[in-house]
């Protein structure tokens, strides 16, 4: 494979899913390609398990480095983790799918080097995805805050009990819910838990959030789609029981009675390379539309 024409040194990060045996082959081959094409690579600790030489750093510190882009080797969960790290710096991400579903990591492993060629030659389109900024307020004080690419979920903690919530949008009371939980989803997250709970699929460019109740006690409660300029507040009403706040299904913290989860559109975005497939091609492939 011929090296790139440009001789200027470029910088890239490699982020990998833990405990994937095939990475013992993939990572060294990828580093060889990058070296041929004048890239200097840094890696997260997970990638560093498979090769010696390049600098390894904690994943949460990668977004602080000056990088041309980041390569994610894994599934959608790995990309969600990387996206929260990269959002503040605006570093674009190329997702290589080593998982099963792959709505976000849409490049199959067989196309990794064709895709890298497209990125290197500025032939890959960059798609911008919105984030939710969520704050957990207790007694009027913010005790934790998060950025979410997929969804913010407030759910019951007890196995056999329904939780109670109040929903407010732009300071207007919407409804009280008894349900397993409430999902606040971005367009990106509309194909995740929200879809499984009966929510609609939004195209990534739609300026909206989805509010999806999970197994509501009342059959009249339905999914809401609101503008992403809205402020969405969930008030936890659990009495002596705890609820649980979950971010992208990866980060979480207990929520107590009276806590308020405030969701707004983040000032940051995630930038994803789109090489060959558009959103509808990904949907047809992953959801097997049109197949009999």
User: Which sequence positions are flagged as catalytic?
Assistant: 76
Pick left, alpha or beta for residue 182 (phi over 0 → left; psi -120 to 50 → alpha; otherwise beta): beta
The answer for residues whose C-beta is within 8 angstroms of residue 272's C-beta and 6 or more apart is 92, 93, 94, 95, 104, 126, 127, 129
Per-residue CA distances from 120 to 4, 7, 96, 108, 153 (Å): 8, 12, 15, 18, 37
Q: Report the distance separating Cα 20 and Cα 72, nearest Å.
A: 13
Q: Which two tokens mark 244?
A: 């649980």
Q: Report the distance separating Cα 51 and Cα 280, nearest Å.
A: 37
Q: Is 62:15 a contact under the CB 8 Å cutoff?
A: yes
Per-residue CA distances from 156 to 73, 165, 210, 213, 275 (Å): 33, 10, 19, 12, 40
Q: Is 267:128 a contact under the CB 8 Å cutoff?
A: no
From the CB of residue 101, how many other CB atoms can be counted at a distance below 10 Å?
14
Q: Report the distance separating Cα 236 and Cα 136, nearest Å.
A: 11
């Amino acid at each position: 494979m011929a090296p790139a024409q440009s001789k200027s040194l470029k910088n890239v990060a490699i982020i990998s899913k833990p405990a994937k045996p095939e990475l013992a082959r993939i990572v060294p081959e990828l580093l060889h390609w990058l070296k041929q094409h004048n890239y200097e690579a840094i890696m997260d600790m997970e990638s560093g398990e498979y090769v010696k030489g390049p600098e390894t750093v904690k994943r949460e510190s990668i977004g602080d480095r000056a990088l041309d882009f980041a390569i994610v080797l894994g599934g959608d969960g790995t990309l969600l983790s990387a996206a929260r790290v990269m959002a503040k710096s605006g570093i674009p991400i190329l997702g290589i799918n080593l998982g099963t579903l792959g709505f976000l990591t849409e490049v199959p492993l067989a196309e990794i080097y064709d895709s890298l060629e497209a990125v290197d030659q500025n032939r890959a389109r960059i798609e911008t995805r919105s984030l939710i900024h969520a704050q957990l307020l207790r007694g009027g004080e913010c005790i934790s805050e998060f950025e979410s690419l997929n969804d913010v979920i407030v759910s019951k903690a007890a196995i056999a009990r329904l939780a109670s919530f109040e929903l407010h949008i732009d300071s207007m009371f919407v409804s009280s819910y008894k349900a397993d939980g409430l999902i606040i989803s971005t367009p990106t997250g509309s194909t995740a838990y929200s879809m499984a709970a009966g929510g609609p699929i939004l195209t990534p460019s739609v300026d909206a959030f989805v509010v999806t109740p999970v197994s509501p006690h009342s059959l009249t409660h339905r999914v809401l789609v609101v503008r992403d300029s809205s402020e969405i507040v969930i008030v936890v009403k659990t009495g002596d029981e705890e609820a649980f706040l979950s971010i992208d299904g990866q980060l979480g913290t207990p929520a107590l009675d009276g806590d308020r989860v405030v969701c707004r559109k983040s000032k940051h975005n995630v930038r994803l390379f789109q090489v060959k497939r558009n959103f509808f091609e990904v949907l047809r492939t992953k959801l097997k539309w049109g197949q009999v």
